[in-house]
A and B are shown apart, each in its own frame.
Chain A
């Protein structure tokens, strides 16, 4: 059992506070920075980025479009403009390289809410177990893609999508959006651990699939140093992805976290006093190549 009152203390002692929170700080800067770029226009009159995460135009030249929402629009029968198609291709290429769920941990504003809920759960010792399977998000994803086909009324998921709602709310006007955000927060705090991002969110599930072969991955290449403090499992939003990479050395499993559930958030890198984890490619040089059968098994398990 990990002592939650001293969580991260050893890492801070070993690396200093800044280094022990390096990726967390960078992630918050990324999330807030993206919001700031979108807000600079309406608030300060400095137009760098227009629109929102669904579709945006940077410096009047770079279009970026969310593939999940455009897919829903296409399914409901629309033919998008060329700029939207270019935008989608750029976004897909980016997440194909850096990992789909980088969207979740480095871009999505809801992540700050659910991270706060996770942190509070640890602080308050809330230990509700969830009945909701982590695969539910794929069912939800299927639902978002089926609804535009069968129900008139278009992109129905966007009526309640907390991700786009929160971002749009901040950039264009909140209205009662805070109710939706509060609902997600309370759900994660009281009902299910990592309930929204890890189990239900179809946007995350979509990006998960986009990045299933991504090049940038977290690896446990220094796993020999692991002292079994288990703190990485506590802070990781998708803890099931760690075990095989961290503990699979004896079975010849690669130290690279290959599960696309991993959000590349880097909390494990920060929290580890022994610097077991680091960012890297899909294959790590200098380590034994894992045999394909084991990898297959690993993926099935995921």
Chain B
């Protein structure tokens, strides 16, 4: 091997070695970032995304953290996550209790978004699903104590559909009604106006990200009465009427009165009361 070859060999080795070192270093950084991103991408329950935000995972890929939505919000409710916050750094959120979404009809935050992280397909603010309000504490909500409040019901921008008041009997007083606020997920946008308005020290109605707030019925469930309604009639073969082995003139009503004797038995010289005949002997002997 000549000297120059040796030199080249050394250079090649050095080059490969350096490259390997760099690749390893950067690879480690990448792994660290990957793991960190998993932790950092979990959204705390009280941080609500602006209207039209894509599902969290897609949102984190689409949002370039520019803050234009924050700037164009006329009510200044949006913030960008700061380093150290529990929300991905630089992504927008609002906190319903301190500053809920006022549901502007023209949705300026969506119009400001340059990347569709806030979906430009959403044009009707009532269709937005920022989260879902939940009456989380029935022990402190004063409606459950029989007191009239209904503030959440009254501030709701979709009043009467997103929150309704359901009347129930007040067992404690025995003669009054409870006006219970009930949230309906098919209309609630998660704007959080109810949470801010709640008169308690700590709100009893709170907005949560929808996946936290919503249950899901098993896919195999069929609710009979709903299926019947949908089909316009019973979907199962009607029950065969049960035949009871009863004397003539007597029938049995399962869900009503029970044993029904339609015809009175024939008149006999004997009383139907056995005591009458038993006692009659005594009377004769006297």
Contacts and interface: CB of A to CB of B under 8 A. Distances in A.
Contact of B71 (A41, A140, A153): A41
B30 A63 contact: no
A63 B64 CA distance: 14
Contact of A77 (B21, B58, B67): B58
B82 A169 contact: yes
A76 B117 CA distance: 12
Given A73-B115, A175-B82, A154 B62 contact: yes
A180 B72 CA distance: 28
Given A54-B66, A159-B40, A80 B22 contact: no
Nearest to B42: A153
Interface stretch (B31-39, B184-192, B242-250): B31-39
A83 interface: yes
A51 B67 contact: yes
Contacts of B64: 54-55, 65-66, 69-70, 72-73, 155, 158
A89 B188 CA distance: 40
A104 interface: no
A176 B84 CA distance: 6
Interface string B60-99: 1111111110111000000110111100111000000000
B275 to A, nearest CB: 88
A154 B64 CA distance: 10
Nearest to B38: A153
A65 B65 CA distance: 11
Most buried by A among B70, B82, B89, B120: B89
Interface in A108-136: 131-133, 135-136
Contacts of A264: none
B60 A180 contact: no
Interface string B172-202: 0000000000000000000000000000000
Interface stretch (A29-37, A160-168, A209-217, A255-263): A160-168
A164 B84 contact: no
Given A140-B26, A148-B61, A154-B41, A78 B85 contact: no
A136 B41 CA distance: 27
Interface string B120-152: 100000000000000000000000000000000
Contact of A73 (B33, B38, B62, B82): B62
A99 B61 CA distance: 29
Most buried by B among A70, A72, A151: A151
B57 A136 contact: no
A147 interface: yes
Contacts of A76: 60-62
A62 interface: no
Contacts of A47: 71
Nearest to A160: B33
A68 to B, nearest CB: 10
Contacts of B62: 73, 76-78, 154
A79 interface: yes
A258 B63 CA distance: 36
A175 B40 CA distance: 16
A105 B116 CA distance: 31
Interface of B: 18, 21-23, 25-26, 29-30, 33-34, 36-38, 40-41, 57-68, 70-72, 79-80, 82-85, 88-90, 112-117, 120
Given A148-B61, A153-B41, A158-B90, 6 more contacts: A66-B64, A77-B61, A80-B115, A133-B18, A147-B34, A155-B63
Closest 6 CB pairs of A and B: A175-B82, A76-B61, A154-B61, A154-B60, A55-B66, A176-B84
24 contacts: A51-B67, A56-B66, A65-B64, A72-B64, A73-B63, A73-B64, A76-B60, A76-B61, A139-B23, A140-B29, A143-B33, A151-B33, A154-B41, A154-B61, A155-B65, A157-B33, A158-B65, A159-B89, A164-B90, A168-B67, A172-B70, A172-B79, A175-B84, A175-B85
